[in-house]
Structure 1
Amino acid sequence: MIDERLLDDTDALARADARGALLALASAGARVRTGLRLADEAGLGGLRPEGRPRAVLVAAHGAAAQAGDVLAALGASVCPVMVLRPGPAEPDPALVHPVTRSDDFTLGLDWTLPGWAGPSDLLVVAATVGSCPGLITLVERAYSRGCSIVAVAPPGSGLAEAALQARGLPLPYTPGVPAALDGYSDGPDADLPREDPSDFWGVLAPLLALAQRLGVVAGGQEALIAAADRLDEAAVRCRPSAEAYNNPAKALAVQLAATLPLVWSDGSCASAAAGRFAAMLADHAARPALTGALPEVLTAQRGLFTGALGAGGDPDDFFRDRVEDDGALRLQVVLLRRTPHRRPGDERAAEEGRLPDVTDESSPDHLQDAESPVSRRTVARAHRLAADHQVGLRELTSVRSDPVEALAELIALTDFAAVYLGLAAESGGR
């Protein structure tokens, strides 16, 4: 259990945040704008594609792979988008050059192209560290097959140079807040990749700009700039100095204390946000989470509701005394949605920067008339399943018409919540 009063102690939060995660999240909007500017300076603005690719292959790991998942969610209706994740590489006896500890992990990774990949396809290799041998080898393989190649990597890195040699387009990636990497210890995990939470946006910004240029994702750069504005707004609303009763991220963190989160999603945009939320909970809150998409998740995870995790008091009571709680683990559903049909008052609230649409705890009675009957019934059934088993359901909804803006709102809120949950637990243990 965590005491929500810990979340309002800004000094304690600062001491616990050795990785600088809160500062990194606050810089997410700036990372998007910087990424777009550098991509344009690298020649993306002058790119004249000859039609859309048959398929887009995104090879990455870590935060870059999560960015690829977002591209797959947003562009899958236009052309196939496949995220290639690494497998173990075969040992190379010819490898004789010295290896630093930071390279140990990436030297063991290998990526494989689908057998059908060829001249009609685009390979995008993305990495926050451009010295990954497996990705460099993949660029060489893709070039031999005639694939078009784009690399999102640090300027001057081995991966960026490999893209140039393969007649590809390197798009610059710039690191985020240096302090976010200083909190990693030199212990047994020091060889694992070091990424801060805003690295996700540092990769996603040029990736989406490229996809829009190719016609894989609808919209233009103005939509990405608007998404950066949404990230800035979330950073203000979810700042450490904002008290829990007026901070949606802190309120969500408190609600997730001593729970097994079930992160459900309605639609492809929300599914991408759900995957990101689960990853952030694991990395920054040491909390496992199960994801699932409506309507399949209602049957796939209903068995969880019939066991001990489904029983409990009133998990939605924000004011109950969690310090004196019995500490029993319980389920908590977080339902992420994008419903671009506005309700009365949403437009004015958005203009005033209040954006209640991403903090509403909706019930079936509040479902919008503009939604499809199928979606309305499915969401209502989810609420009923949770209510029947005394499980809390928190619905987080973005009403933004542009999917990139909606994604930014949902991910910004849940990113902050995951970090606050981890920091409160660490502060309480000191």
Structure 2
Amino acid sequence: MAMDGSPATPLELPLHEPRPTGAPTALDGVLVADFSRVLAGPVCTQLLADLGARVIKIEHPDGDDMRHASQASIGGLTSAFLALNRGKQSLVLDLATAAGHEVAIDLVRRADVLVENFTPGVMKRLKLDYDAIAKINPRLVYCSVSAYGQTGAAARRSGYDPVIQAESGLMSLNGFADRPPVRIGPPVVDVSTGMMACNAVLAGLLARQHTGCGQHVEVALFDTAANLGALYGMSYLVDGNVPGRFGQAPPGAAPVGLFQASDGPFYLCIVNDRLFRRLATDVLGRPELAGDPRFATNRARTANRTALFAALETAFAARPRDEWMSRLQAANVPAGPMRTLAEAFASPEMAARGLARSLPHDTAGSVPNIGPPFRFSHTPTAAPAPAPALGQHTKIVLSEVLGYDTARCTALAGGGAFGKMQDETDGGDRHE
């Protein structure tokens, strides 16, 4: 349903543009054994897949929890799983069985990268920890993602994005001063941790080029949250004053905040005197505001924020938002309309960047895709493929990557390596 209660209308998306024929990717030939699930780890491995790595997602026979999220679904896949697992191949393994462990070891022996985000201790219990794996593959870049790190009293605690937001102090900065703290809606700590993990893996691969050795790299949600709040954390460490919540208007500059035109809100961001002069003279036609001693400097504007905002609110309320956007953009003053997600995906900015596209899909016909946030001139990102069905590539990985013949696959299946095998009529490679 739409926000006004009317039936929702899915956005019609253009097909994804084909990548240049024969162009290499940044991570051609890199094999990733992806033991991660849910959110932070899959963000990391999806980015590696976008960069051209072959990412094999090892899933329990029940599948990644995101396959069962209570969100929109299409073609048998939830939107949550689609958002985090583009470009991967799904291999079902029951790691608790000797046969499943045998396959995992065989895959890791060939891999360049391993990513896992189990609670510390789980991979050791499965005999897949770094110390064990480094003996059979010393060139492996082994990345562990956790809530609180691999060591210390909190290491074995389970942790989720909003809990980390609360514990790290990040949540204390979000919201309005006269109201309780508010969690940041999107899982910014999880997503940022996934990005940090991708950076760590890429650094590990680069280091391997000149050392010849792999290494264990780790990234923690708590550490990432501390870095997300570093601008305010550093202020506290410098002067001992605890920053508080400031809603739409941060204390260091003015006018910054959400303003209301006659027909809708927009966000304005004036961070220096030059921009304020442009706003007053070129946008509002009120040069006297720039000459007013109360507003002439950023320090004065922040001290007289109430009077300044009152004057601006009166001015902005007199005209429609599109007119203000035209004036603000013509004067190169940073501002943008406050949009819903539907409005954002229908915006000219989204279209110009080609972010929202449609991908062919076996069971759904097509599924939407949000493209990665980077561009390369010589090694364009890999051609996107939708997130896989559970176990969709089990047979392919066993034959192409591991070189197993039918007899060995049958023996492994008999040993429970793949959980309960189930023939599928819509692809034949899915094992659930």
**If the length of structure 1 is used for normalisation, what is the TM-score?**
0.28
Q: TM-score, normalised by structure 2?
A: 0.28
Q: Which has the larger radius of gyration?
A: 2
Q: Which has the higher helix share?
A: 1
